[in-house]
Amino acid sequence: MAKYIVENSGPLEGTLTISGSKNAVLPLMAASVLTDEKCVICDTPALRDVDVMCALIGSIGGSVQFHEQTNQVELETRNILLEGAPSELAQKMRASVLIMGPLLARTGKAKIALPGGCAIGARPIDLHLKGFQALGAEVIMKQDANFDYVEARAQKLVGSDIYLDFPSVGATENLMMVACMAQGVSTIQNAAEEPEIVDLANFLNKMGARVKGAGTDTIRIEGVPKLKGTKHVVIPDRIETGTFMAAAAITRGRIKLENAVADHVRPVILKLRECGVAVEEDDDFIVVDARGSQLKATNIKTLPYPGFPTDMQSQFMTLLLTAKGKSTIIETVFENRFMHVAQLNKMGARIKYEDRRASIEGPKQLKGAKVSATDLRAGAALVLAGLAASGTTEIDEIYHIERGYERFIEKMRAVGANIRMEG
């Protein structure tokens, strides 16, 4: 089984270019199903999750060509062959549910196995389904010997006012895509405000949709009968940006991140500054400089955007282990996102947690150990811990990490990280 071997690396220094956003490109790819014309998405990262989405679209009759040399994916679904994606693909990735909305809008029916992904909480899709129903679809839950399925059917989709009980990113994206082709006007209240939502709205509007208000808590969509193909450049990955920012701070190094949008990682920048890290920002780059810094503790509370991102919680926990004083992290988004604590404690962290609150006392001299990447972001946090730990850290279950970070080892090594893959 493949694993990462990480050694203490000293201060990381150099320049990196941030890849296109995983969490933005997956809904863009799904949205290509809304038209029978070709869509081209540039800056698409070469990731396992992107491969799964390519396979999903191919499984419903789409033509997909991913050019890794240019990071460009071409998608065309002139003829849709199936009602939904094969269960073995849907089970691999949470974002597979995003195929459901475009299929429903385009064909009037969609069927998919309940999706998989990181085991960081229940992450139900009930908000997606309630929204489909509000737009006129009938939703049926089914089960066979192996999988639970959900099916949606609609003879006609009609615009409606939808209120989300929680500002779910996935539900907001799915309902935006369905509403684009519903008759009349739809509004999504308490919508997610993430940059990925804005990127999807921009993509849909290039296709001929009429979406307004993306990036606020109220999105208004006027349905249109047909959408066209388009070309689009995906936004930079803000979680990759934050991860490398944390890597510079943890190792007391200096990293310049190009193709990075400071406004997308504002909470991370502010918390780094609270800890005593120097952060310089410009229109298209960020420089994190922690050389010679004595970091101090701070408190974190994860919240939906524009709050501190839950996807940066584990990486920041590793950072706080190197800061002086007592820090507290409160996780409000997912109920099971402290699985990395046990792994960090194997490395000498001694983090205490109960429910959704963790207490970190620093600084701690971490020691290399054999640990497991329990999910995507936890895996990244363990790599960061290994960079600062004495001895050797072995990380298995690394397929989680490769789901979300493009050329991770290559980029880490480019700034001086002592990391390699074995197995």
User: Are 81 and 61 contacting, i.e. CB atoms less than 8 angstroms apart?
Assistant: yes
State the pLDDT at residue 117: 45
Same fold flag, 3-19+236-422 and 22-233: yes
The identity of residue 362, as a single letter, is G
Q: Outline where 264-414 has alpha helix (H).
A: 266-275, 313-320, 339-346, 376-388, 399-402, 408-414
Buried b / exposed e across 227-243, counting CB within 10 Å, b at 16+?
bebbebbbbbbbbbbbb
User: Are 235 and 195 contacting, i.e. CB atoms less than 8 angstroms apart?
Assistant: yes
Packing angle of the helix pair 339-346, 376-388 (nearest 10 deg): 20
Indicate the CATH number for domain 3-19+236-422. Answer: 3.65.10.10
State the pLDDT at residue 125: 85
Specify the DSSP class assigned to residue 360. Answer: E
Q: Does domain 22-233 have CATH number 3.65.10.10?
A: yes
Report the distance separating Cα 318 and Cα 411, nearest Å: 19
The identity of residue 248, as a single letter, is A
pLDDT tens sequence for the chain (423 residues): 899 999 999 999 999 999 999 999 999 999 999 999 999 999 999 998 899 999 999 989 999 999 989 999 999 999 887 655 666 776 667 678 899 999 999 999 998 877 654 443 445 788 999 999 999 999 988 776 566 788 899 999 999 999 999 999 999 999 999 999 999 999 999 999 999 999 999 999 999 999 999 999 999 999 999 999 999 999 999 999 999 999 999 999 999 999 999 999 999 999 999 999 999 999 999 999 999 999 999 999 999 999 999 999 999 999 999 999 999 999 998 777 788 999 999 999 999 998 899 999 999 999 999 999 999 999 999 999 999 999 999 999 999 898 899 999 999 999 999 999 998
The one catalytic residue among 54, 118, 180, 275: 118
- Reported residue count of the chain is 423
State the pLDDT at residue 203: 98
Q: How many helices (H) and strands (E) does the chain have?
A: 14, 23
State the pLDDT at residue 292: 92
> Can 39 be counted among the known catalytic residues?
no
> What is the domain partition of the chain in residue ranges?
3-19+236-422, 22-233
User: Are 261 and 289 contacting, i.e. CB atoms less than 8 angstroms apart?
Assistant: no
